Amino acid sequence: MSLDARTLANAVRMLSVDAVQQANSGHPGAPMGMADIAEVLWRHHLKHNPADPQWINRDRFVLSNGHGSMLLYSLLHLTGYDLPLSELKQFRQLHSKTPGHPEYGYAPGVETTTGPLGQGIANAVGMALAEKTLAAQFNKPNHNIVDHYTYTFMGDGCLMEGISHEVCSLAGTLGLGKLIAFWDDNGISIDGHVDGWFTDDTPTRFRAYGWQVLDSVDGHNPQEIEMAIQEAKANTSQPTLICCKTIIGYGSPNKSGSHDCHGAPLGKDEVAHVREFLNWPHAPFEIPQDIYQAWNAREQGAHQQASWQQHFSAYRAEYPELAAELLRRSHGQLPVDWAEQAQDYINDLQANPANIASRQASQKALNAYAKILPELLGGSADLAPSNLTRHTSALDVSAEVPQGNYLHYGVREFGMSAIMNGVALHGGFIPYGGTFLMFMEYARNAVRMAALMKQRSIFVYTHDSIGLGEDGPTHQPVEQLASLRVTPNMETWRPCDQVESAVAWKEAIERQNGPSALIFSRQALTQQPRTPQQLSDIERGGYILKDCDGTPELIILATGSEVGLAVNAANTLNAEGKKVRVVSLPCTERFDKQPAEYKEQVLPKSVRARLAIEASIADYWQRYTGLDGDVIGMTSFGESAPAEQLFKLFGFSDENVLAKARALLA
């Protein structure tokens, strides 16, 4: 058998077809249609080392049309990653490394979790942004230590999703010239031929974004694909879209070019026809040794990495501090004196009270922490003056100034959040981004993906309640806090003053295995007094802020701006001879993970009279108050009026809290 490009591509096709058929589930059409493009890219251009999938200067590859996951799994297997044939045979099965859509952390070489269409291209934009910014911060003359491309495959579905507009527009503005996207222009989606619902002039659209566009490339012609990639790589000032005309299900005599091969196995008879059409005489999952040898990238990858390592050694000899800093940041490590400096800052805040909005406290924390952490890469979705995400060390990132540390994302909440995930996945930065808590809803799926992938993305949400007042219920969050808190692997912090705000930032920065949502107020909050032990206990997510003598008769739980109401009520009731404890719960998820003994110490089961106060959805708090307790919370949307009037209207007043507390004590 002649090992021409088509034969090597057919190995990808047949592995994908056989795995989908054995699983009796999956999407064979995209892998069959894009195999020729993948062969050219992966065998002749992609810089990677299968023996070291975390090599920091590898090219990144993102399969944005993640339903075609067997394309990626086949490529990883053939090129020599630790993904044996047995795993391909277990495609879509329990505990396999080959789930239905690519998932970060399962198979080596999978750079991100894709499946929700459009987010893969968004992650790729984040990776390309991280590469360009990191390169600008660390490269020196004759030392291009950070120097790699980000490649992504995407389909019509990715382009139909609105997030693709958000991120591709920004990619053009930022001049991400080492981002190369391949559009699988096959004209098919699940419902059939897309010309009934997708007639955009995509090349013109991307040219308007400021991209280089190479259109009308035959996605089954290796020579045309090669020429397009070379032209794309020659232009490092613009991202490139390569428009590849392909036939979905290429090689299937009866189902190619149809939605019949998009999201379902071909069927045993059609698989046999594919083998005959492609002149592939081998049994299912059988790959001849010479084809394996032609695909194997381990030797070339080891040579590429060794060459880079030699270059890096010369760089380290000339710039030892920069080299050490690059390695520290790329490995996700914090500075050795981070914890000490952060704690000193928190102690100083406690010793010097200030009654300010927690969004202002957040900015103060950023001002302090950014001086210690050059890896903070932040921004806001067009709300920096309100979110207060811009700190005193901020330098705007632009096409001309890529070495900055602050991004103006524009009104792109979803795009911002998914780009942040791509930055986190790339490494070298701790990304954060801000918007109003209400507009987390625009970005909900990207926030979920951060939690699913266990990435250190820090979502900054201000204007946390009806307390934003006159803007009305369209801007007043009600159910958003509960939504964040019930998201697995998310930690949501709603601090009550500048000290808890600084601790929330510290904990988010130190958290290595998942994202954090930091929820800040518009209105000023009273700083609470604390003992050293109470100060230490904030990081537990919940602690006794104000106690009484002996066993309490009533426990009042609160977060954020409502902690002040709880303290006021406790002061009044304790002066009347009652025994009332106040528990601040800035992060319920963190508190829930504490040892049972600690939780019992803070919230003893014997004290069944409990009152929770939060200007958020009330139902969430019944998990802490039980049937015998009560909740002052929201059970409807807000209204448009000054904050003081709204708080009183919805029961967030000293009078109502005292009335509820006395009823429970009675």
117 is in an annotated binding site: yes
Asked if 422 contacts 126 with a C-beta cutoff of 8 angstroms, the reply is yes
Tell me the CATH architecture of domain 538-665: 3-Layer(aba) Sandwich (3.40)
386 is in an annotated binding site: yes
Instruction: Kindly report the number of other CB atoms within 10 A of residue 331's CB atom.
Output: 11
CA distance 195 to 46: 33
pLDDT of residue 3: 87
pLDDT, tens only, 27-42: 999 999 999 999 999 9
Instruction: Kindly report the number of other CB atoms within 10 A of residue 215's CB atom.
Output: 17
Give helix 119-138 / helix 162-173 axis angle, nearest 10°. Answer: 20
Which has the closest alpha carbon to 36: 278, 201, 265? 278
Residue 218 has pLDDT above 70, yes or no: yes
In degrees, to the nearest 5, what angle opens at C-alpha 509 toward C-alphas 505 and 515? 95
The enclosing H or E element of 273 equals helix 268-277
CA distance 646 to 653: 10
Name residue 609's amino acid. A
CA 370 to each of CA 272, 328, 653: distance values in angstroms, whole numbers, following the listed order: 61, 16, 37
Please give the DSSP secondary-structure letter assigned to residue 639: -
CA distance 240 to 175: 10
48 is in an annotated binding site: no
CA distance 639 to 361: 27
Residue 416 has pLDDT above 70, yes or no: yes
DSSP per-residue codes, 226-271: HHHHHHHHH--SS-EEEEEE--TTTT-TTTTTSGGGTSS---HHHH
Asked if 28 contacts 62 with a C-beta cutoff of 8 angstroms, the reply is no
* N-term to C-term CA, the chain: 88
Which residue numbers are catalytic? 413
Name residue 146's amino acid. V
Which has the closest alpha carbon to 132: 150, 118, 120? 150
What is the residue whose two structure tokens read 């970060």?
104
Q: Is the dihedral of CA 382, 367, 450, 402 positive or negative?
A: positive
116 is in an annotated binding site: yes
Residue 113 has pLDDT above 60, yes or no: yes
Radius of gyration of the chain (CA): 28
**What average pLDDT does this structure show over 438-464?**
98
Strand order in the sheet with 516-519: 406-408, 376-380, 430-436, 458-462, 516-519, 491-493
**What average pLDDT does this structure show over 426-450?**
98
CA distance 353 to 356: 9
pLDDT, tens only, 142-162: 999 999 999 999 999 999 999
DSSP per-residue codes, 151-207: EEEEEHHHHHSHHHHHHHHHHHHTT-TTEEEEEEE--EETTEEGGGT----HHHHHH
262 is in an annotated binding site: yes
Residue 2 has pLDDT above 70, yes or no: no
Name residue 180's amino acid. I
Q: Provide the phi-psi class of 386: left if phi over 0, else alpha when psi is between -120 and 50, else beta.
A: alpha
Could you tell me how far CA 193 lies from the centroid of its own chain?
A: 32
pLDDT of residue 528: 98
What residue segments make up the domains of the chain, in order of their start?
5-302, 337-525, 538-665
Superfamily name and number for 337-525? Thiamin diphosphate (ThDP)-binding fold, Pyr/PP domains (3.40.50.970)
471 is in an annotated binding site: yes
205 is in an annotated binding site: no
Calculated CA dihedral for residues 128, 130, 136, 137, nearest 10 degrees: -170
CA 511 to each of CA 81, 454, 475, 505: distance values in angstroms, whole numbers, following the listed order: 29, 10, 30, 10
**What average pLDDT does this structure show over 91-104?**
98
Q: Within 13 Å of residue 340, how many CA atoms lie on the same side as its CB?
A: 3
Residue 102 has pLDDT above 70, yes or no: yes
Residue 310 has pLDDT above 90, yes or no: yes
CA distance 458 to 420: 8
CA distance 626 to 609: 9
Residue 634 has pLDDT above 60, yes or no: yes
Tokens of 33: 């249609």
Name residue 18's amino acid. D
- Mean pLDDT over all residues of the chain? 98
CA distance 526 to 546: 14
| DSSP-derived pairing of the beta strands 516-519 and 376-380 | unpaired
Name residue 119's amino acid. Q
Tokens of 253: 């005599």
pLDDT of residue 665: 96
522 is in an annotated binding site: yes
pLDDT tier, 1 (very low <50, low <70, confident <90, very high otherwise): very low
**CATH numeric code, 5-302:** 3.40.50.970
Helices marked H in 439-531 — which ranges? 444-453, 480-485, 498-510
67 is in an annotated binding site: yes
pTM (whole model) above 0.95 = yes
